[in-house]
Amino acid sequence: MARTGYRVGIGHDTHRLEPGDALRLGGVDIPHDRRAVGHSDADVLLHAITDAILGAAVLGDIGELFPDTDPINRGRDSIEMLSAAYERVRMAGYRVVNLDCIVFAQRPKVLPYRDRIQRRIAEVLRIDPDTVGLKGKTGEHVGPIGREEAISAQCVVLLEAVR
């Protein structure tokens, strides 16, 4: 089937936080006194991006491709999952035009790590880092985000048909 035009996708993910020594975010290990809990490496940002690109191409979601019931996904690097998902998207005839992401966390601040995270995501998606929007928002000390019990991420992506 010939693909034409543009497709928009949205992704979201949330993970609990527990005491630890680093937080994996966007494929980057950030020194922190908490870590995200999950079946894989619990990288909420990469999980949201993966769901956004899969959704835009109508190729399912991260849980279908990498179920937490499969032992092979235990501790799996989310960079691998994003890369495999994007290969499916490319095979379906799309490329990423740009994405805009928000990380919801009381701490750590995203800004000091933004450039490294943008470059890492751009590398995997084969796009310019300037097309990767990334913002951090706190929970203003309210709810699970504000109490540092959880971290969340959202992503909107624009795909373009290339064939």
* Span 93-108, pLDDT tens digits: 999 999 999 999 999 9
* Mean pLDDT in residue range 80-88: 96
Confidence of residue 77 (pLDDT cuts 50, 70, 90): confident
Tokens for 38? 């999950």
* Span 9-67, pLDDT tens digits: 999 999 999 999 999 999 999 999 999 998 889 999 999 999 999 999 999 998 898 87
Strand residue runs (E) in 106-149 = 132-137
Domains, the chain, in order of start with CATH, read: 6-161 (3.30.1330.50)
Return d(Cα 46, Cα 65) in angstroms, integer.
Answer: 14
Backbone φ and ψ of 19, nearest 5°: -55, 140
Other beta carbons less than 10 A from residue 156's beta carbon: 18
- Of the candidates 122, 42, 53, 140, the one whose C-alpha atom is nearest the C-alpha of residue 94 is 53
Query: Hunting for tokens 């279908």 — which residue is that?
Result: 64
Other beta carbons less than 10 A from residue 14's beta carbon: 17
The letter for the amino acid at 7 is: R
Return d(Cα 65, Cα 84) in angstroms, integer.
Answer: 9
Return d(Cα 116, Cα 26) in angstroms, integer.
Answer: 9
| 84: pLDDT strictly greater than 70 | yes
The reported pTM is: 0.94
Return d(Cα 53, Cα 46) in angstroms, integer.
Answer: 11
pLDDT computed for residue 161 by the predictor = 96
Report the share of the chain in percent with pLDDT over 70. 96
